[in-house]
Amino acid sequence: MNIILSILILGIIILIHELGHFLFAKWGGIGVVEFSLGMGPRLLSFEKGGTRYSVKAFPFGGSCAMLGEDEEAEDERAFGNKSVWARIAVVAGGPLFNFILAFCLAMIMVGATGSYDIPRVQAVQAGLPAEQAGIQAGDVIIKVNGRSIHSFRDFTTYTLTHPGKELNLTWKRTLEDGTARTYKAVVTPVSAENGRKMIGVEFAYGIRQPANLFETAKQAVYEVQFWIRYVFDSFYMMFHGAVSVDDISGPVGIVSTIDQSVSEASAAGGKKAVVLTLINFGILLSANLGVMNLLPFPALDGGRLFFLIIEALRKKPIDREKEAMIHTAGMVFLLALMVIILFNDMRKLF
Is 56 within 8 Å of 41 (Cβ atoms)?
yes
Distance of alpha carbon 346 from alpha carbon 349, whole angstroms? 5
Residue 265 near residue 273, CB atoms below 8 Å: yes
* Residue 29 to residue 23: CA distance in whole angstroms: 10
Cα separation, 266 vs 108, in Å, equals: 19
What single-letter amino acid sits at 293?
Answer: N
Instruction: Decide: 170 and 143 in contact? Cβ < 8 Å.
Output: yes
> What's phi and psi for 263, nearest 5 deg?
-60, -45
What residue spans of 240-319 are helical by DSSP H?
251-294, 301-314
What is the Cα 183 distance to its own chain's centre? 32
Amino acid letter, 119? P
Beta carbons within 8 Å of 41's beta carbon, 6+ residues apart: 56, 57
d(CA 282, CA 108): 11
- Helix (H) or strand (E) holding 131, with range, is helix 129-133
- Cα–Cα distance, 80 to 203 (Å, whole number): 53
Active site residue: 18, 69, 223, 323, which one?
A: 18
With beta carbons less than 8 A apart as the criterion, state whether 307 and 318 touch: yes
To the query of whether residue 18 is one of the catalytic residues in this protein, the response is: yes
CB atoms within 10 A of CB 79: 22
- Which DSSP category does 71 fall into? S
Contact 148, 184 (CB under 8 A): no
The dihedral region occupied by 81, where left means phi > 0, alpha psi between -120 and 50, and beta the remainder, is: alpha
Point out the residues that are catalytic: 18
